[in-house]
Amino acid sequence: MKKNKTYLLCSVLILALAFFSCQKKIEKEYNWAYPVAGDWTLKASVDGEEVAGPFELKVYNTSFGQDSIWLDDYNGNFYQVKFKAKVDMSSLTFQTAGSTNAISGYDINVKVMEGKVINKDSLSFKVEFSDDPGTVYSVSGHRTTSYDEYMQR
């Protein structure tokens, strides 16, 4: 009888091990714009003095191909803008010489310089708005959810 219980216990353990070892691992899929794309918590400064922040900026892919991204201050906490910028995914950089704001009723152009993602978790760029010519904002911050948290590492 003791031998049967041991045999039964071993059989259950082997079946459980076989079941759990055969579970398919689910890999996250990302669109082509990742790791530039994401939700970013940023601050803006002019000449080293903080003028806005923290605020959230969403960066995501466009439907126009794999060379542009949207930058969207969707809640208007910094500057009420949504615009496209050219992106180079090999160097994780982005810029635009003069993109038109996509938010209706606020017709301005946006110029982004030196946009880059550092270590997949930090973002920085300089920006100038046509309704505030000559003022260059330095914007920088971090991913709202870190790359490692997002990747569940």
CATH number (domain holding residue 53)? 2.40.128.220
Kindly report, residue by residue over 52-83, the tens digit of the pLDDT: 989 999 999 877 678 899 999 988 889 999 99
Q: Is 58 exposed, middle or buried (0-12, 13-18, 19+ CB in 10 A)?
A: middle
Alpha-carbon distance 58 to 40, whole Å? 6
Q: 22 in a domain, yes or no?
A: no
Question: 145 lies in which domain range?
Answer: 38-150
Q: 73 in a domain, yes or no?
A: yes
Kindly report, residue by residue over 98-153, the tens digit of the pLDDT: 999 999 888 999 999 999 999 989 999 999 999 999 999 999 999 987 555 655 55
Alpha-carbon distance 93 to 73, whole Å? 19
Within 10 angstroms of residue 73's Cβ, the number of other Cβ atoms is: 19
Q: 6 in a domain, yes or no?
A: no
Q: 14 in a domain, yes or no?
A: no
According to DSSP, residue 51 is labeled E
Reading the block at residue 123, the tokens are 């973002």
CA nearest 103: which of 127, 75, 124, 125? 75
Specify the number of domains making up the chain: 1
pTM: 0.75
Q: 1 in a domain, yes or no?
A: no
